[in-house]
A and B are shown apart, each in its own frame.
Chain A
């Protein structure tokens, strides 16, 4: 055995000993950074070394700086109790990133693109030929009974046939290491601004963690989105006018709306800024009405047009659906997409992929039970203590009951509610989400469950920014990761190549760095020097 190899082996075992001392991965379960035996995964080794160097004190110190910076920059989120009042607090960013290898990411990316393409086909189908219903794959009563099914947009096909311009599917990793989709979001998925801000904050607060890695950047997302919106805008002129439509500053995701508008360099509009004249959408500007070609809307279908949806909506623009139907404006995401991310329709996505694309799904679903079937209902009610029950009409983790974490009384009450409206509920197997070490109040590391929401942009093609939002459960053992329920987030690193921490291997710098052509030297302009030079340049008198 050569001396060098022996040294490496010694260093390796040493690292294992030290790492178990800072963190103990949960058993059973899957930890993203550590193997079962407590040694760091290959991709995480350099990161763990840096964390150890930083120590609890360093992490707490960086955490204090983080809170100060977030409050200063107004990067905040509204939290709510079960029904209680909401308040603004700095977005919780955990300083330990999740690391995904390039290969892992490629598989996820392919799976997501496939899934989003199928969902997009489904929306198109539901509002046109309804082939999938006629083939008997998806029952019509589920589609029509879905609260987000929008009769008003029947027969409308947006430019390019794209409905789901922005999609965020929630992924979880099972304890055997496989990825599963737990939920699709194709209405107004939020969180991308936090992905970008988290990365910027990580680079500022703990740059040393990046030292051994080449992490793929995420900052181009707003440009991807703008490109996609322009590509679907019905504009004959070269430059389409795109706007971001927010319900207003009271909305919990207002920060994100403003962020995206700023990063894309487009106007952030509210309903009162928009007006429809002769089936064309305009915004009121200081120079009169200006045509709008594409709207990235951040409010639900229900509110967009009081003439077609909820008549009591104060946030909507009367006549918008008429303009949309006339094809004079693109709306992203298209109206009526909510039918595809309904929790009951979710069960059918693998079938959709086979039906529309003729492919086998790359990413699996979590096993789900539709309770509208009486037999299934009885089966589920007998096993409520080992399943997760979710109301189909809610989002943000509200109303979710996790069987193993609930007591007898809660389960009995739940069973009663489910029995009265079984079609409003689904049940899913409990997924033991994977964990990532997370900094706790005293600077030590503890496992917390996480999911992953990658963001896809569908314009002329599907682009997915590397990584996504890793949401973290607020307390040990908790499986609910929604930020509205006190969950935190992590930066998600997708490494450029393979498994190994590879900056050293490739050499050089990730961004190209050429030396400049001969530039004139900088000058510093000291008065005395100038005088001296003047004297030197004056011919001497003898």
Chain B
């Protein structure tokens, strides 16, 4: 398929996943910041300041607080807002309308238009972060569902999925790196409920039922638990699968090899690391590895376009 089309699909996947994770994080942080701290140990740190810094280099200069969280929903001016991500997804989808199904295009288009309209009605309105986040979560789930049921399992679907997977893994790692600041590992072993809400594995974690929701077991779960589809390990595994399918020669393809090595690394670390071992190092190195994969993907599939920002 055309490199340009593959590139657009890949970024369509990334933008959709980014919008969804932004929605989860904004809702969790917004709710948590309304209330005081729990009795127990100090939990993980995850507030609007960290969230903003994570989402956008531009918004790093915007003051943290409820209003900024509101802007992260539907302020088109902020590149890190849900609306901005969805707008980018729509712009991408327009250029690949012949590749994706009509249902999928409609789902993306409706989402963008509704969000634009409600955004214009005022992201400053108070209950908006909840309402809009909820909407974005539901709609992205719907878009992925439509894609799964209506798209042919071909290269196109592979690049769409690949974008989604790499973005999910990247977002989870970003949130983990904010929540578990280096050198403060012991201090961070309080409640990590907010992290689970922000990333989205709240129910899955409780059902897995291996340990109380403290920072450490939660971080391990989000990194290593293959049975949870949004964990980093599960994403990397699936990433390997889709690239192996899409690649013409997976045996000597740089991105495939790199992903395969990362998957093996994560599996090894899951087995080798004792409980309570420091995880920030792994988060950092995994995130860098994902960045290199992203670069390899650009070089191999998208006609060697060198991405910005990676020196």
Contacts and interface: CB of A to CB of B under 8 A. Distances in A.
| Bind each other | yes
A511 interface: yes
B7 interface: yes
A398 B263 CA distance: 62
A262 B209 CA distance: 11
Interface in A444-497: 463, 466, 495-496
Q: Which of B10, B34, B178, B291 has the most CB of A within 10 A?
A: B34
B177 A516 contact: yes
B37 A204 contact: no
Interface residues of B, number: 72
Interface stretch (B25-33, B102-110, B264-272): B25-33
Contacts of A531: 305
Interface stretch (B52-60, B115-123, B229-237): B52-60
B91 to A, nearest CB: 9
A496 B42 CA distance: 15
B168 interface: no
B217 interface: no
Contacts of B61: none
A513 B46 contact: yes
Contact of B14 (A65, A214, A216, A525): A525
Given A203-B31, A207-B30, A223-B213, A517 B182 contact: yes
B36 A214 contact: yes
A203 B34 contact: yes
A163 B38 CA distance: 26
Given A207-B30, A227-B212, A264-B206, A530 B298 contact: yes
Nearest to A536: B306
Contacts of A206: 126-127
Given A513-B45, A533-B308, A215 B36 contact: yes
B57 A521 contact: yes
A537 to B, nearest CB: 5
Contacts of B75: none
A531 to B, nearest CB: 7
A520 B291 contact: yes
Nearest to A204: B130
A513 B206 contact: no
A530 B177 contact: no
B4 A537 contact: no
Chain A, interface size category, equals 35 or more
Nearest to A515: B53
Contacts of A239: 209-210
B30 A519 contact: no
Interface string B92-135: 00010000000000000000000000000000001101100000
A514 B178 contact: yes
Contacts of B64: 509, 513
A522 B56 contact: yes
A206 B33 CA distance: 14
A530 B11 CA distance: 12
A236 to B, nearest CB: 18
B46 to A, nearest CB: 7
Given A262-B203, A510-B36, A517-B181, A207 B127 contact: yes
A242 to B, nearest CB: 9
B183 to A, nearest CB: 10
B228 interface: no
B191 interface: yes
A309 B109 CA distance: 62
Contacts of A219: 38, 193
Contact of A515 (B7, B50, B206): B50
Interface string B291-311: 100100010001011111110
A200 interface: yes
B209 A265 contact: yes
Contact of A265 (B34, B191, B206): B206
A215 B34 contact: yes
B185 interface: no
A534 interface: yes
Nearest to A219: B193
Given A530-B298, A537-B306, A516 B79 contact: no
Contact of A516 (B53, B194, B308): B53
A47 to B, nearest CB: 13
Q: Which of A214, A466, A519 has the most CB of B within 10 A?
A: A519
Contacts of A203: 30-31, 34-35, 130
B208 interface: yes
Q: Which of A264, A495, A512, A517 has the most CB of B within 10 A?
A: A512
A509 B69 CA distance: 14
Given A227-B212, A262-B203, A525-B7, A207 B34 contact: yes
B193 A220 contact: yes
Contacts of A226: 212
B43 interface: yes
Contact of B306 (A210, A466, A526, A533): A533
A510 B126 contact: no
B53 A210 contact: no
Contact of B36 (A204, A217, A223, A533): A217
Nearest to B30: A207
B277 interface: no
A512 B45 contact: yes
Contacts of A512: 37, 42-43, 45, 47
A98 B242 CA distance: 54
Interface string A293-318: 00000000000000000000000000
Given A210-B34, A514-B45, 6 more contacts: A207-B66, A265-B206, A496-B37, A509-B33, A511-B46, A520-B288
6 nearest CB pairs, A to B? A513-B47, A265-B206, A530-B305, A512-B45, A525-B11, A214-B36
11 contacts: A217-B37, A219-B193, A220-B39, A262-B206, A512-B43, A516-B53, A516-B177, A519-B287, A521-B309, A524-B11, A527-B8
Interface of B: 4, 7-8, 10-11, 14, 18, 30-40, 42-43, 45-50, 53-57, 64, 66, 79-80, 88, 95, 126-127, 129-130, 174, 177-178, 181-182, 191, 193-194, 203, 205-210, 212-213, 284, 287-288, 291, 294, 298, 302, 304-310
Interface of A: 62, 65, 199-200, 203-208, 210-211, 214-217, 219-220, 223, 226-227, 239, 262-266, 463, 466, 495-496, 509-517, 519-527, 529-531, 533-534, 537
